[in-house]
Structure 1
Amino acid sequence: MKNKNIVYIIIGLVCILIFLALIFLIKIFFSTISATSIQFQNNVNTFNNRNSEILNNTNINNDPGYDPLKIYKIDYSIKPKVMFNSGNSEIINFETNVNTKYEITYGRTSQNEKNIKDDILQTSHEVVLNNLEPNSRYYYNIKIYSDNGGYNEEFSSSFTTQSSIIYNYAFAVMGDSRPVTGFIMPKEFNEIIKNVAKANVNFAIITGDMIQLSDIEKITVDRVNEAWKNFTDAVSPVSSKIPVYLTVGNHDEPANTIALQRFRDIWTFPHNGGGKTGWYDELTYWFSYANSLFIVVNSEEPGFNGSMSPEQYLWLQKILSYDNYDHKFVFTHNPIAGSTRGVNSRSNELHSLFMEKNVSAIFTGHDHVYCKYKKNGLYYIITGGAGSPLYNDLCAGTEISQFHYVTVEVEGQTITIRAFSKDNSLLDSFSINDNKD
C-alpha cells in the first residue's frame, strides 16, 4: 500500500511538470507570433514610407530614365573621364543613371586633402579642378548619392596634369574598335586597352569608328547610349587616368543628329574647330602638349565624303601655320595617303600642305590594318586594328594585318613610333628626326 502511494505521488509530480512545460511553450508560441506581426507591420510602414517618398520626389519623377527598381542603386552610365584643361586645371566628367549629387576629394597624395562638391541633382556632371601644379600627379575619389536613400558609389583613380615646358613625353594611337554589329565591344579592344593602361603615355588618340551605329535602319537615343556606355566602360582603365581624344569615323554616324548630340554630351574636346559654324564644334579641333601641336581633322563631312570642304581646308591651313612648335601631328579617320582602296581626293594638295608646314606624321584609321607609308620623307600611319575585323592587302607601304596599337615617344627632336600587337609584342619600330634646321 505504501509503495502504491509513492507511485501515485511520482505520477502526480510528472503530470504537474508536463502541465507547466505546456504553459511555457504556449507563451513562447504567442510571443513569437506577436513579434512577427510587429516586424511585418514595421516592414509595411517602411515600404509605405519609401513609396510615399518616391512618389512625392519630383526630381525623380521628372527623370525620363527613372526606374523605381533602381532607386536605391546608383551607378555610372558614363564612367568618370579626365581631360586636360590647362597646366593648372583638369576636367573630370561623368554621367549617372539617376539624378545625383557628387563629392570629389583630390590631392597630391592618396590622402586627398582637397574637396569639391555640388548639391544640384542631375545626371550629367562636368567638374573643373583648379589651382593644380603642372606636370604633377593627383589622386581623386568620387562619391555620388541621391536625396532618396541612394548609397554612395565610390570611384578612385589618378591623373597627371600637362606641362608646356617638358620635351620628353609619349602618347598612344589606335583606331577602329567598333564591333561588326551591335554594341558589345570586341575582346581584342579590351586586351589592347589593358596594355595601353600599363604603357607610360601621357594621353591617347583614337582615329575613329569607336562604336557601331551603321548596322541599324533607325538610330535611337537608347541604342546610342548603349553603344557609348559599352565603349566608355571598356576604355575606362585608360580614360580615368589620361585624356582620350577622338576623331569621328563613318560608323560613329556624326551626320545623324542624335549620334552627334550624344557625342558632344559625353566627350569634352576643345571648342576651336573650323568649317561651317556650329557643326564642326568638337569634330575638328587642335591642342598643344609640350613642344608639339596636335590637329584633329573631320573626314566625315556631309557632302564631302572622301574629300575635304574648302572651309575645313582653310582652317587646317591656318592652324598648321602656327610655327612655335617643334612637332606637328595630324589625325583623321579616312586615309589621306597609303591606302590602296581609296584616299582623300585632295590627297596631293594636302600632302603639299603638310610638307610646306613641316608636319611630323599623319595618323588615320578606317583600314583595319597597320600600314606604314612614306612619301617624300613624310610618314603616313594607318592604325585601324583596335578590335574591328581585320583586312588584308590594303597598304601601299608596309602592312601588318594584326590587332594592334601604336605608341609615339618624343624626346627632343627625335620621334620614335612603335606598333604593338594585342599581346604587347613589338610589331614595328622606327624613328623620325624632326630637326627643322
Structure 2
Amino acid sequence: MILKSKKVFFIFSLAFISILFSQLSYKKESYPENIIIGKPTNNSIMISIMAIENTAIYINYGLDERNYTNKTEIIHSSKDQTAIFNIDKLMPNTQYYYRANYKSSDNEKFYAGDTNSFWTQRSIGSSFTFGVQGDSHPERLCDEFGYGMGISANQRNSGEARGCMYDPELYKKTLRMVDEDRPDLYFMLGDDFSISNLLPNYFQGDDSGFSQSIVDDIYINQRNFLRIMANSTALFPVNGNHEEARLSLLNTPLHNSSIFAGNARNRYFPVPTPNTFYSGNEKPIEGIGLLGDYFSFRWGDALFISIDPYWHSTRVTERIGGMGISRVTRPEVLRGTNPGANTGGMDSGTAMGVGTKAWAEIEGDWIRLTQSSGNLWDATIGDRQYQFLKKTLEESDAKYKFIFMHHVLGTGRGGVERATKYEWGGYNDKDEWEFDQERPSWGLPIHQLLVKNNVSIVFQAHDHLFAKQELDGIIYQSVPNPADPGYQEINFQAYKTGDLLPNSGYLNVEVSPENVKVTYKRSYLDKDETDSAMHGQIDYQYTIN
C-alpha cells in the first residue's frame, strides 16, 4: 500500500496562484498590497510587507491620515519577499495612520500605497473590539457544486457528506466584513496553514512535494486573503493540529514538518514572542528560534492568553492530520471516499517514483509516529506552560480574562464535554479521578485553575461549528469556520449541551468597562442569500458582565 493525497494538488494550485498574486507589476493601479500587522504593544507595532525581492519600501505614519509626521528608514524586501518594520516610540491608547511607499528596481520614483491604521494598547476603562475565526482549511476546497474530491455520487445525492469546507470567495467576504468592522485584534485559532496532506509521501521517501518553499507557499496563500483586513487589525495566529508543528515530530523522519511550519509562521507573520509587553515561551527551538506558541498580554480591561498543546506533547494523541493510515484496509476508506471516517476527508493515495519506500517496510514506523498513543494524558501543555498559565492568571487584575486555543486537550470533539477530562478536568473517560497521579506538581486541573481565577471565555476551534456552552461560570465558545460554503454544523453530535449553529462567519467581541458582548456574524455567498440568510446578519449574541 502506498500513500498520497490528491488534495495536495489543490494546495499546489493555491500556492502557485499566491506567488503570481504577490509578484504583480509595481503599478499602483494593479498591485494589491500585502500587509500584515501584529505584535502591537503600548508603544510599538510590527508591520510585515510582502513585495518583490529588492523592492525599496518605507512607511509614513502619524495621528492624522492627511498629514503624516513620521517616516521610517527605507528597507529592501528580502529573498523571502518580506520587509519587516518595527515602529516604536509611539503613544499608548492611540490610533495611528500609516501608508507604505514602494519603488522597484526598474522605477525611478516611489508610489504611495493605501492608508491603513492601527491602535496601540488600549488603556484600562477603554472600549474596543476583537475578532475570532475558526478553522479556514484552504486545503479542503469545494468544487462548484459544494463537494470535495472523493465524495461519491451516492453521498452527494443523500447529503451524507460534503468532504470540504472552503470556498475562497466566501473567505474573502468574511474577511471584508471583518475589515468593515475594523476590530483592534484578530485571532485565528488554527488549521489555517495545513501541511497534513504533504506528509505521507514525504514519509515514504518522496521529498519532491515537501520542502521549506512549498510550506512557505501555503503561508503566503493565507496572507493573500488576510491582507484584506490584517493591514489595519493586528493578527494573532494560533497553532492547530493540521499545522503539524509538534514536539513529537522533532528528531523523527517527520522532523522537518515542525521546522518548516515554525519557520514559515515566524517569517511571514508577526508572532508574539516574550518582551516587556508580551509574556510567553522563552525556550527556542533549534532551527526555528522562539516559537510564539503560547503568550499573554493586557489590552484595556482584558487579559488575553493563548495556549498550545502541540509543541509540548511528546506523544501523538490522535492521528496526525486526522489522516493517519490505519490497519483498516477497506478500499473506500483508503481511497478517501468515506471522508472523516479514517482520513479526515483526505485521500490516502499513491506515492510512486524513484527513492520511495515500499509501504510494508515502513508501516510500523508510520503507525507508531502518527497514530494515537491511546492515552489522553499524553495530550499536554507541559509543566512550563502550565506554570506560565497559573502565574499569568494569578497575577492579573484584569476585569475580563480570555483564553484562546485550537481545542481543549488538542484532540477529540466537544467543548465542556472534554473540559472535565484528563489534565483539563482530572477525570479519565471512565470518570475515574487520575489527576493527582498524572500531574502531581500542578495543584489543579486546567479547568479548575481557570474557574479559580475567574476566566470569562475559553475560545476554541477544531469542531467546525458555532457552539456556546457554560461550565462552572466559564463560557466555552467554539468558533465557526469562516469559509464553509456548505454552511455545515459539523461534529454537533459531540455537544450534549449548549446553543449550536452552523457555519460560516466570525465572532465579533465588544469589550467595554460594563460588559463583553459576543456577536456571531454570518457569511453567505451571493448565490446563497435569502430573506432569512443574509450576509452580515447577526445569528447569535450574548453579553457577560
Residue 387, structure 1, aligned to residue 487, structure 2: no
Higher Rg: 1
**How far apart are the structure 2 equivalents of 1:392 and 1:165?**
39
The one-letter code of the counterpart of 1:409 is: E
Tell me which residue corresponds to 1:44. Answer: none
Residue 324, structure 1, aligned to residue 334, structure 2: no
Could you say what secondary structure the match of 1:387 adopts? coil
**How far apart are the structure 1 equivalents of 2:126 and 2:514?**
9
Relative to the length of structure 1, the TM-score reads 0.75
**How far apart are the structure 2 equivalents of 1:194 and 1:376?**
36
Task: Encode CA deviations 1:163-190: one digit per residue, 9 max, x unaligned.
Answer: 2234322111111011244798633222
Deviates more, 1:324-333 or 1:412-421: 412-421
Q: Percent of aligned pairs with the same residue?
A: 21
Contact in 1 for aligned 2:52/2:77 (Cα 8 Å): no
Indicate how the Cα distance of structure 1 residues 354 and 224 shifts in structure 2: closer, same or farther if over 3 A, else same. same
Residue 130, structure 1, aligned to residue 88, structure 2: yes
Contact in 2 for aligned 1:417/1:430 (Cα 8 Å): yes
Residue 191, structure 1, aligned to residue 197, structure 2: no
Residue 300, structure 1, aligned to residue 310, structure 2: yes
Deviates more, 1:151-160 or 1:207-216: 151-160
The one-letter code of the counterpart of 1:173 is: V
Tell me which residue corresponds to 2:242. Answer: 251
The one-letter code of the counterpart of 2:229 is: V
**How far apart are the structure 1 equivalents of 2:33 and 2:262?**
16
Contact in 1 for aligned 2:414/2:463 (Cα 8 Å): no
Residue 365, structure 1, aligned to residue 461, structure 2: yes
Residue 398, structure 1, aligned to residue 499, structure 2: yes
Residue 241, structure 1, aligned to residue 243, structure 2: no
- Distance apart, 1:290 and its partner CA: 0.8
- Distance apart, 1:369 and its partner CA: 0.4
Could you say what secondary structure the match of 1:251 adopts? helix
Contact in 2 for aligned 1:73/1:150 (Cα 8 Å): no
**How far apart are the structure 2 equivalents of 1:179 and 1:138?**
32
Indicate how the Cα distance of structure 1 residues 201 and 274 shifts in structure 2: closer, same or farther if over 3 A, else same. closer
Tell me which residue corresponds to 2:509. Answer: 408
Matches within 5 A, 1:99-110: 99-109=54-64, 110=66
Task: Encode CA deviations 1:93-142: one digit per residue, 9 max, x unaligned.
Answer: 22323122212112222232322222556343221223333333322221
**How far apart are the structure 1 equivalents of 2:77 and 2:482?**
37
**How far apart are the structure 2 equivalents of 1:182 and 1:371?**
24
Tell me which residue corresponds to 1:144. Answer: 102
**How far apart are the structure 2 equivalents of 1:315 and 1:176?**
26
Task: Encode CA deviations 1:369-422: one digit per residue, 9 max, x unaligned.
Answer: 001111112100010422257414232322112212111112214111121211
Residue 424, structure 1, aligned to residue 415, structure 2: no
Contact in 2 for aligned 1:408/1:415 (Cα 8 Å): yes
The one-letter code of the counterpart of 2:518 is: I
Residue 356, structure 1, aligned to residue 452, structure 2: yes
Contact in 2 for aligned 1:76/1:96 (Cα 8 Å): no
**How far apart are the structure 1 equivalents of 2:283 and 2:32?**
31
- Distance apart, 1:152 and its partner CA: 4.6
Contact in 1 for aligned 2:39/2:272 (Cα 8 Å): no
Residue 177, structure 1, aligned to residue 273, structure 2: no
Indicate how the Cα distance of structure 1 residues 214 and 163 shifts in structure 2: closer, same or farther if over 3 A, else same. same
Indicate how the Cα distance of structure 1 residues 271 and 107 shifts in structure 2: closer, same or farther if over 3 A, else same. same
Q: Unaligned 5+ residue runs, structure 1?
A: 1-65
Residue 209, structure 1, aligned to residue 191, structure 2: yes
- Distance apart, 1:153 and its partner CA: 5.8
Could you say what secondary structure the match of 2:395 adopts? coil
Tell me which residue corresponds to 1:277. Answer: 283
Tell me which residue corresponds to 1:335. Answer: 408
Structure 1 ranges of 4+ moved more than 6 A: 74-78, 182-185
Contact in 1 for aligned 2:280/2:292 (Cα 8 Å): no
Deviates more, 1:407-416 or 1:243-252: 407-416
Residue 290, structure 1, aligned to residue 303, structure 2: no
- Distance apart, 1:224 and its partner CA: 1.9
**How far apart are the structure 2 equivalents of 1:234 and 1:368?**
20
Residue 225, structure 1, aligned to residue 216, structure 2: yes
- Distance apart, 1:71 and its partner CA: 11
**How far apart are the structure 2 equivalents of 1:224 and 1:152?**
32
**Greater relative contact order (Cα 8 A, min sep 6): structure 1 or 2?**
2
Could you say what secondary structure the match of 2:172 adopts? helix
Indicate how the Cα distance of structure 1 residues 321 and 164 shifts in structure 2: closer, same or farther if over 3 A, else same. same
Contact in 2 for aligned 1:185/1:231 (Cα 8 Å): no
**How far apart are the structure 1 equivalents of 2:90 and 2:216?**
33
Between the two proteins, the alignment pairs up a number of residues equal to: 366
The one-letter code of the counterpart of 1:207 is: L
Relative to the length of structure 2, the TM-score reads 0.61
Could you say what secondary structure the match of 2:51 adopts? strand
- Distance apart, 1:350 and its partner CA: 1.2
Tell me which residue corresponds to 1:266. Answer: 268
Q: 2:70 aligns with which of 89, 102, 114?
A: 114
**How far apart are the structure 2 equivalents of 1:357 and 1:318?**
10
Deviates more, 1:372-381 or 1:310-319: 310-319
Indicate how the Cα distance of structure 1 residues 71 and 208 shifts in structure 2: closer, same or farther if over 3 A, else same. closer
The one-letter code of the counterpart of 2:495 is: C
Contact in 1 for aligned 2:273/2:281 (Cα 8 Å): no
Q: 1:94 aligns with which of 38, 49, 52?
A: 49
Task: Encode CA deviations 1:271-303: one digit per residue, 9 max, x unaligned.
Answer: 236568214631111111012110010132342
Indicate how the Cα distance of structure 1 residues 162 and 275 shifts in structure 2: closer, same or farther if over 3 A, else same. closer
Contact in 2 for aligned 1:363/1:380 (Cα 8 Å): yes
**How far apart are the structure 2 equivalents of 1:72 and 1:369?**
40
The one-letter code of the counterpart of 1:405 is: Y
Task: Encode CA deviations 1:34-78: one digit per residue, 9 max, x unaligned.
Answer: xxxxxxxxxxxxxxxxxxxxxxxxxxxxxxxx99xx797599898
The one-letter code of the counterpart of 2:129 is: A
**How far apart are the structure 2 equivalents of 1:206 and 1:228?**
13
The one-letter code of the counterpart of 2:300 is: A
